[in-house]
Amino acid sequence: MIKIFNTYSRSLEVFEPHLPGHVTMYVCGPTVYDVAHLGHARTYVAFDAVIRFLEFMGYRVKYARNVTDVGHLRETGEDRMIVGAERLRKHPMEVADKYMMEFFRDMDALGIRRPDIQPRASMHIPEIIEAVEKLVDKGYGYVIDGSVYFDISKFTDYGKLSNIKPEELLMHRIDPDPRKKNPADFALWKESPPSYPFSWKTPWGRGFPGWHIECSIMSMKYLGEQIDIHGGGQELIFPHHENEIAQSEALTGKKPFVKYWMHTGELTVGGRGMHKSYGNFITIQDALKTYPSDVLRLFILSAHYRTPLDYSEKAMEQAAENFEKLINFFENLSLIAEEGRPKPRDPSLDELSNVFKQSFVEAMSEDFNTPNALATVYDFIKKVNTRLDVIGHEQATHLRQLFLETCRALGLLQKIERRSSAAEVMEFVKMLVEVRRELRKRGMYDLADRIRSMLAERGIMLEDTKEGERIRIVR
C-alpha cells in the first residue's frame, strides 16, 4: 500500500489512481532560456525515482513533462525567453531549441528516463486560445483590450493548495494592471507589445498565452481532464499550481483536477537557494565533469524529496563513498557468480533477501522515502559481505539480480560498467594465485606476500581459507 503526501490536503493519503494499475503523471518542465542546474536535477531525479518505483510495484505510468518556450514572465514582468534571447542575441525560438536540446542531454546524462510525452507550449496555441474562449464564455475570464484575466472571485476554492491568505495574493502578482476587477486576478492571455517576437491572432487581438494556462492545456490534452499525480518544485505551489487548479476545474467542471499534488524541496548551497546572483549556481554539465551521474543521484536521493537539500563537497564525498559500496558489492557478487564456485544454498541468505526486499518496499511506499530505502540497501550490503565465503555461484547470481532490481527502482546502476569483466579479472588473478601458491610451496614467502600486497593495493583482497584462496573486491 503506497502512501503519498498530498500537498493539497497536507496529509499522507493512500495512493489509489483513477484507473487501477495505471498512473497518469505530469511534472512541470523547464523554461528553456538557459542551461539546467542542480536545482532542476533535484526535482527530476526525485520524480524519476517515483516513476521507477511505481513501475517496480507493477503500475503502468503515462508520464508527461512539458517544455515552456513562451509566456513565462518573471517576477519583474520580464519574459524569461526574451531575457535569454537578448543575452545570446538570437531569436527566442533559437534560444528555446538550443537549451531544450541541452536539457534533454543533461537528463539523459543523469539517467533520467525520458517522459512518454514532452509537449512544447508554443505548439499548443490553438488549444490554449479555445480554452480561454470557453473560460470567458463561462464567466470565469474577462477581456481588457487584448488581454484576458481569470476572475478568482468566481472560483470559491482558490487558495486551498497554497493556503495563501487573501491579503498575501498581491505580493505574487506581476501584472499590476489597474483595470483588472481584482488586483489578484491572473492572466490567461496577454496582449503583445509592439515588435514583441511572440504573437498569435485571437478574437481579442494579437497576443501570447499566460504561463499557467499552458500546463493546464498540455496536461489535459495528453493525460485527461483529471490526472493522478502532478509534480514540481515547491516554488510552483503558488501561483502556478494554484492557478492551474482554478482554470482547469473551471474549464471542465470536474474536481479534483489533480488527485495527488507532490512538490520537491529546494536545493541550496550553503543554506541559500541556488542563483547566479549569489555565485552558487552549479550547472548539471559542470557537476557531471566532477562526479558520475550515480553519485549525483545518490546525493539527491539521500534526502527525502520534500525536504531541503544542501549541496556541499562533504555531502558529495559521502555520496561517492556510498557509490563505491554499490560497485564493490556488485563486483564481488559478479566474481562469485561467474567463477562457478559450487556451494550449497544458504537458507539464511534467502531469508535475508526477503527481509531486504520487504524493507525496501516499505520504505519507498511511505511517500517514496529514498533515504530509508537506501539505508536498507546499505544494510543488505553489509550483512551479505560478512557471508561472501559461504555463497555459491547460483546464490550469488540471485543476490546480484535482487540487488540490481532494487537499485534500478531508484534509477541507480542503470548502465553499470564493470571496471573490468569478471572473466578478465579471474583469469589474471587465478594466474597470480597459482604463482603465489607455487612460491609458498618453495618457501619463498616474501615474494608470495608481495603478490598478495600488490593485489590489495589494486582493491583485490586475497584471503587464505581452509577451502583455498578467496577473492574479494574492496575498491
One DSSP character per residue, 405-439 reads HHHHTTT-STT---SS-HHHHHHHHHHHHHHHHHH
Alpha carbon of residue 155 to chain centroid: 33
End-to-end CA distance of the chain: 38
Could you state, in order of their start, the residue ranges of all structural domains in the chain? 3-264, 313-408, 422-473
Across 15-29, 160-174, 196-210, the highest mean pLDDT is recorded for: 15-29
Rounded Cα–Cα distance for residues 434 and 453 (Å): 15
Q: Is residue 464 scored above 50 in pLDDT?
A: yes
Over 80: is that where the pLDDT of 166 sits?
no
Q: Report pLDDT digits (tens) over 172-229.
A: 565 667 889 988 899 999 998 887 888 899 999 999 999 999 999 999 999 999 999 9
Among candidates 396, 368, 363, which has minimal Cα distance to 379?
Answer: 363
The grid coordinates listed for 429 are 588473478
Query: What is residue 175's predicted lDDT score, i.e. its pLDDT?
Result: 62
Q: pLDDT tens-digit profile of 47-60?
A: 999 999 999 999 99
Categorize the per-residue pLDDT at 168 as very low, low, confident or very high, splitting at 50, 70 and 90.
Answer: confident
pLDDT digits (tens, 9 = 90+) for 266-321: 999 988 887 766 677 899 999 999 999 999 999 999 999 999 999 999 999 999 99
The whole-number pLDDT of residue 117 equals 98
Looking at residue 131, the DSSP 8-state letter turns out to be H
pLDDT value for 338 = 82
Q: What is the CATH number of domain 3-264?
A: 3.40.50.620
Q: pTM higher than 0.85 for the full model?
A: yes
Which of 154-163, 354-363, 372-381, 410-419 is predicted with the least confidence, judged by mean pLDDT? 410-419
Domain topology for 313-408: Four Helix Bundle (Hemerythrin (Met), subunit A) (1.20.120)
Q: Binding site: residue ranges?
A: 28, 215, 240, 244, 276
C-alpha to C-alpha distance for 72 and 31, rounded to whole angstroms: 7
How much is the pLDDT for 172? 59
- Pairwise CA distance, residues 211 & 468, whole Å: 68
pLDDT > 70 fraction of the chain, expressed in percent and rounded? 93
- Please report, rounded to a whole number, the percentage of residues in the chain having pLDDT higher than 90: 69
pLDDT of residue 423: 53
Predicted local distance difference test score (pLDDT) of residue 444: 87
Nearest to 132 by CA among 120, 153, 147, 145: 147
Confidence of residue 242 (pLDDT cuts 50, 70, 90): very high
- DSSP letters, 255-267, are S-SEEEEEEEPPE
* pLDDT for the residue numbered 75: 45
Mean pLDDT of 338-342: 77
Q: Mean pLDDT of all residues in the chain?
A: 90
* CB burial of residue 325 (10 Å; 0-12, 13-18, 19+): middle
Please enumerate, by residue number, every residue annotated as part of a binding site for ATP: 276
pLDDT, position 40: 95
383 with 353: CB under 8 angstroms? no
Beta-carbon contacts of 368 under 8 Å, excluding residues fewer than 6 positions away, are 4, 46, 49, 50, 53, 305
Q: Which three cell numbers stand for residue 139?
A: 464567466
Q: How many CA atoms lie within 13 A of 68 on its CB side?
A: 25
Which range, 33-37, 179-183, 362-366, 388-392, has the best average confidence (pLDDT)?
362-366
From CA 273, how far away is CA 275, in angstroms rounded? 6
pLDDT band at 434 (very low <50, low <70, confident <90, very high): confident
User: Which residues fall in the annotated binding site for Zn(2+)?
Assistant: 28, 215, 240, 244
Residue 173: per-residue pLDDT: 61
**Tens of pLDDT, residues 69-121:** 987 765 445 677 787 878 888 888 899 999 999 999 999 999 999 999 999 99
pLDDT at 74: 54
Q: What is the pLDDT of residue 431?
A: 81
- H or E segment and range at residue 207: strand 205-209
